[in-house]
Structure 1
């Protein structure tokens, strides 16, 4: 959908487009046109902010990655060495000042100072350690960044859940709001990639919660349908959706 045709979109399509914008799925001319529309459309701006509040909950599901104890021990050891060398160096500096040597002598003393070179080496080591921490963090964030996302909308075009797919094959569903489940019922998650094959169940949960989906040997690609239906507590008796559809949406590639 192109924002340039915004006047022809239904409310549901406008809401879905706003969700795509927040997720970073709009690009190029579509993104520019959408942002121009935002400048004069208060209702669309409010919809974007609503999406941002919904997706804020996804960030809270990321597990923090703590540095290993060995890494901190190495940093502490290097800092201790620096502290031990600081006192003798300060005393030497005071003595040099009292002697008031020439500029050439001061330069020579600085050049031959073991403390200076130890400090430089330590600075380099700390920089390497911090770089390693940064790279590990970046790699971890990359692993947690989904490669495809499906926003599941209710009939009222309200975001009820998000399905995230990752490069390592993991697929998870994260609810964005509470979903009422009557007693004796459960939420069943389905995926459909080929109408000739029909939908396949990939998860069954008793309440709205984050859950991993079982796609094992099933295909997974762009524009693949995911939906949630209300089924008996033990799951659909036919192997196909039988209850009302709670929410549905198709996958799109992230930028």
Structure 2
């Protein structure tokens, strides 16, 4: 049935072909067609295809993949923030019944520093506040003069770092300008509080 259909179309178009002389194609054309159609992909896979590197779809896909990877890299820290190990921060509310001086203290063990925020109170002219660490029944250990201002950060000495533990007491005394001359509190303790884990 198909062969009869082909014969019918050849008869129909034969008058058009009669106007042109038949030409034999060069042998190189048949060889080139055979090579493009019938060479195995294994023999050409070693050579890079020039079409891939000039393909617009390839470069668009590569750009989309790079943007997606960058977006994941940029957003991941916010989706899953790093967790600090428990017990690396301790907090204390420093106050006393007979004083209007109040501080909030945060000890960051990872940074080895104490952050202080003055909530209320004033040191007065010619005076300084000094921070002390008290461990159990031991003598107070000076952590230094608290810098003037609403907030302050104080580095913690290695010897004090080892002693600071949950339950240690931080205290603030009112001292002469420059701090205690004796290495022990000489003025009144105006604020104190226990360090607790957060």
Structure-2-length-normalised TM-score: 0.57
Partner of 2:143: 202
Partner of 1:193: 135
**RMSD across aligned positions (CA):** 3.2
Residue pair 1:179, 1:207 contacting (<8 A) in 2 also:
no
Deviation at 1:158, TM superposition (A): 7.2
Partner of 2:165: 221
Equivalent in 138, 150, 164 of residue 92 of structure 2 = 150
- Judged with a 3 Å threshold, the aligned counterparts in structure 2 of structure 1 residues 118 and 158 are, in CA distance, closer, same or farther, namely farther
Equivalent in 67, 78, 81 of residue 138 of structure 1 = 81
Residue pair 2:103, 2:119 contacting (<8 A) in 1 also:
yes
The alignment status of 1:117 with 2:61, answered yes or no, reads yes
- Aligned residue pairs total 139
Question: Partners in 1 of 2:107 and 2:75 — Cα distance?
Answer: 29
Deviation at 1:185, TM superposition (A): 1.1
Deviation at 1:229, TM superposition (A): 0.7
Partner of 1:243: 187
- Judged with a 3 Å threshold, the aligned counterparts in structure 2 of structure 1 residues 142 and 156 are, in CA distance, closer, same or farther, namely farther
Using CA pairs below 8 Å that are at least 6 residues apart, which structure has the higher relative contact order? 2
Partner of 1:180: 122
The superposition leaves residues 175-209 of structure 1 with CA deviations (integer Å, 9 ceiling, x where unpaired) of: 232431222211010001131x3101101135344
What aligned pairs does 1:51-62 form with structure 2 within 5 A after superposition? none
Q: Which runs of 5+ in 2 are unaligned?
A: 1-55
Question: Partners in 1 of 2:167 and 2:106 — Cα distance?
Answer: 13
SS at match of 1:177: strand
The superposition leaves residues 24-45 of structure 1 with CA deviations (integer Å, 9 ceiling, x where unpaired) of: xxxxxxxxxxxxxxxxxxxxxx
- Judged with a 3 Å threshold, the aligned counterparts in structure 2 of structure 1 residues 158 and 232 are, in CA distance, closer, same or farther, namely closer
Q: Which one has a bigger Cα radius of gyration?
A: 2
More strand by proportion, 1 or 2?
A: 2
Residue pair 1:151, 1:159 contacting (<8 A) in 2 also:
no
Residue pair 1:188, 1:229 contacting (<8 A) in 2 also:
yes
- Judged with a 3 Å threshold, the aligned counterparts in structure 2 of structure 1 residues 159 and 148 are, in CA distance, closer, same or farther, namely farther
Deviation at 1:213, TM superposition (A): 4.0
Equivalent in 116, 128, 131 of residue 72 of structure 2 = 128
Residue pair 2:91, 2:106 contacting (<8 A) in 1 also:
yes
Question: Partners in 1 of 2:101 and 2:125 — Cα distance?
Answer: 24
More helix by proportion, 1 or 2?
A: 1
